[in-house]
Structure 1
């Protein structure tokens, strides 16, 4: 039995030795395990950072994709959709109602719709059918007679007017031969007879020695600048009628006449600054031979509209630059209201002359209209939340509804209505802008629109301070539109002299139209009288609001 305890003791010793070896092995492996775990933790952290970076890149790419898709949708709309800026106000107001919490916005939208309906119902509706011809047009009666057999046995005959037709006499080319009468006198001087000639005084002509009559020159200017007919086409038309005149000759006449008309333009600009408000705009024009500029570089045609009531003028001015020096020159000495599209080039002139800058809500609305149209199409059967651009657009449309309702009121009444109705809408719009501007990407169309609105906010509110002011600069845009349309036909000016001449002729034609004058008749009267206008008073008498309005039949 003594062998058993010894065996147990040997076994315990063996186990103790084995445990010590395992502990020693575990102790030797512990640092390696900790290092391995630490390395794995570092790998996990690094991979987590990579995932976060890639997630950020993907997020930015998704934002960029949404912005590009928005731009693509807008480009398709501009290319294929109608270009009207009118908004579907009813649906926009409904969107505003769906978005807000509570009834305050709904009541405002309903009120705006009610105002719109009331404003539209007060407008005079045109009767259906064709409008009659003007009673100022000359009329020639055409008698349709019965044959002798048809009226045989009748007790009486008479004529009744059964219809009217508008007729036109095609242009004809003729040559005017001026036959100057001369009288011969015999005078005795120192006992000798000497002959003396006296010639009839020739009528004045703005271009001495020119081969074209005043009527022809007026026809050329009106055809190009009022009807958008380039000189090379007029050259062909005259040639078809039998009058051979080169395009270079026509261009020289246009430039020479502009120089003669420049004093009249200078008086118009002085008179324009007597008004309370001037609206300004500018657009690109291509001039091939502008010194120091490439043919493809941008040059600009500037336009200003203003003047006392009933004596408005629309003046164009060419300048190769779009810098702030141009408004400083054009508006020198003027200190009233200046309404523009927000271009910073006018700031220096406003600061120097103390002008009050007035913003244009049409431009602000245009940005939000584009942002709203570029949103993805709403899916059918889902309660789609309206866009932020749509909400702002609905509030802007309320301002236009108010303006349509007060357009026939006096200046003081307009001011009071704007204080009562427009100011609360502007406050509501300002609050919404401040709450949501940071919620949209700055590079998105909505973000850009909100940035423009925020930057122009003070200028856009000025119109409520005076009933004589307009909510938009649309009149200046309409004034420059004939130039833009004509530019599509004649494309460019060859020299700066041609561009300056275009500015002069556009100024005369558009100012005549703005004052109710027929452009051809007005220009003909001006060019006929201009050679004899040797004083400032005589030139002033040729201003559109001073000259007698010619009848169409004259």
Structure 2
């Protein structure tokens, strides 16, 4: 290592040497500064590289998450397509489809929230896309005013004054709360005589000496027959609140309420049967058969009125009946006293209602175009038949006209149908004859075309009567709740239980049709019955518009 010159040695050197050494020292110092700068740049570059690696890893993780989320969404969309357009064996029913849609919407909302969370703070936040809806006015409003910590003006001018406010509303939920109603009836007696003791009589209850209030009984009924929640699940919910109620106890309450409500259902059926146009349909109701240790097939029949399509004044309603079979004799018994037009599907059991020997006279049976269309849809989806496609286009033209005249008075509907719809129906009839002549009746398409031909007379009834709808969808929509309840309950425990099911479900579904809140209606009705409401004023207890009309 070279020795460093001292100051005295440096002074003894010739001036030229000293100048050279000084220049070299400056070069060395500049070179050292350059090296230090390069080292700083290298360190910064290393930091940037490390940061880039971390960022790349984060981006890779984010990409992986996005790919996984996209795969999940693609899977859900695939399942949705299969449910809507797949083979019949793979297709979901409407209730299962609702569950799938809920899952899909939840996944999409999660993806949007994740994307927003990643971009939050990096870019300006876009206004949120919210489906706020409208919160009903009758809901309780609890205001929470948030005041600033100080109202002193920052410039020291004094206290600020209120010039306005911003208000936001959010929907909150208070869990259902069980409570005990304690009824105290004081006893009074005179101190100076023995005239006796005075005490207010005990108030009447629907179930004398029982635990439940009428409101609790109504809650159990709506949960079971309106929300399709079996009694054993309700018992589990009560147990979470520390109230142990056996399923058989809840069943006893439901049975007692059904007994008291049955006159209302019978009266509702009488009112519906005074109409000139009704809908009817039936669905299977498995009932436990203890003797065989298995279930037997009972049927719930729905009788509905819906005059909204032609501006009728009668409120919509539905009554369910239970029978241990599907024979037409049951429909005939339920419709005792009814005359007019009955809109049904092509089930052969209804044909006895149109016979001349019926005591009240033969009914006019109007068949359902939706069922005819459904037959062609099945063929199109299974074989992509061009013949089925031709038929579907013709039926679609009929429905397009119906959409235009919905809500008009019956005579206006009849005139439009005679002028515009009748020629299309006649053309469809000619097309049907031509195709049946060419296609084997034993083929799947031939069977479906024969189905349409067999109910051709009933399919033309709506052309000459503006009160009649093209299809029986109004009653089919009222059958769906029963099908959902059947899935949740699996089966009815007894024939009498099925009768009680039909009775209570009739009132609840009629409430829904008329915008009446079922829980409030049943609570007030059961309270009135407990207080001895006279049978002569039974109509006053019917759901909403029926009570007003009576």
**TM exceeding 0.5:** yes
1:178 aligns with 2:183: yes
What's 2:288 paired with?
288
CA contact (8 A) 2:225 2:485 kept: yes
CA contact (8 A) 2:84 2:92 kept: no
What's 1:272 paired with?
272
Q: Secondary structure at the match of 1:266?
A: helix
- State the distance in 1 between where 2:191 and 2:276 align: 65
Find 1:337's aligned residue among 336, 341, 348.
341
Say if 1:158 and 1:520 are closer, same or farther in 2 by CA, change over 3 A.
farther
1:314 aligns with 2:318: yes
1:77 aligns with 2:87: yes
Say if 1:399 and 1:540 are closer, same or farther in 2 by CA, change over 3 A.
same
What's 1:58 paired with?
none
Q: 1:287: how far off?
A: 0.9
Find 2:174's aligned residue among 151, 169, 173.
169
535-544 or 362-371: bigger deviation:
535-544
Find 2:144's aligned residue among 135, 138, 142.
142
Q: 1:265: how far off?
A: 1.0
Q: 1:149: how far off?
A: 6.0
What's 1:357 paired with?
365
CA contact (8 A) 1:173 1:242 kept: no
Q: 1:290: how far off?
A: 7.0
What's 1:160 paired with?
165
- State the distance in 2 between where 1:276 and 1:151 align: 75
Q: Secondary structure at the match of 1:174?
A: coil
Q: 1:138: how far off?
A: 2.5
Say if 1:528 and 1:454 are closer, same or farther in 2 by CA, change over 3 A.
same
Find 2:135's aligned residue among 133, 144, 148.
133
Say if 1:178 and 1:388 are closer, same or farther in 2 by CA, change over 3 A.
same
Q: How do 1:16-55 residues align onto structure 2 when only pairs under 5 Å count?
A: none
Q: 1:142: how far off?
A: 1.8
CA contact (8 A) 2:185 2:199 kept: yes
Say if 1:413 and 1:177 are closer, same or farther in 2 by CA, change over 3 A.
same
Q: 1:546: how far off?
A: 5.0
- State the distance in 1 between where 2:293 and 2:367 align: 33
Q: Secondary structure at the match of 1:176?
A: coil
- State the distance in 1 between where 2:526 and 2:191 align: 38
Q: How do 1:365-514 residues align onto structure 2 when only pairs under 5 Å count?
A: 365-376=373-384, 387-514=386-513
String of CA shifts for 1:288-311, please: whole Å, max 9, x gaps. Answer: 0377x7733311111100277333
Say if 1:165 and 1:75 are closer, same or farther in 2 by CA, change over 3 A.
closer
- State the distance in 1 between where 2:237 and 2:410 align: 50
What's 2:11 paired with?
none
Say if 1:150 and 1:476 are closer, same or farther in 2 by CA, change over 3 A.
farther
Q: 1:371: how far off?
A: 0.8
- State the distance in 1 between where 2:333 and 2:380 align: 39
- State the distance in 1 between where 2:290 and 2:267 align: 27
Say if 1:297 and 1:420 are closer, same or farther in 2 by CA, change over 3 A.
same
135-144 or 266-275: bigger deviation:
135-144
CA contact (8 A) 1:315 1:507 kept: yes
What's 2:71 paired with?
none
CA contact (8 A) 1:186 1:196 kept: no
430-439 or 294-303: bigger deviation:
294-303
- State the distance in 2 between where 1:210 and 1:528 align: 14
CA contact (8 A) 2:151 2:159 kept: no
Q: 1:144: how far off?
A: 1.6
String of CA shifts for 1:307-363, please: whole Å, max 9, x gaps. Answer: 773333211111111112211211001111111111121222332132111111111
Q: How do 1:239-258 residues align onto structure 2 when only pairs under 5 Å count?
A: 239-258=239-258
Question: Unpaired segments of 5 or more residues in structure 1?
Answer: 1-72, 85-126, 188-192, 377-385, 550-554
Q: 1:271: how far off?
A: 0.6
Q: 1:483: how far off?
A: 1.3
- State the distance in 1 between where 2:196 and 2:443 align: 85
1:199 aligns with 2:199: yes
Q: CA RMSD in A?
A: 2.6
Find 1:346's aligned residue among 342, 350, 355.
350
Larger RCO (alpha carbons 8 Å, 6+ apart): 1
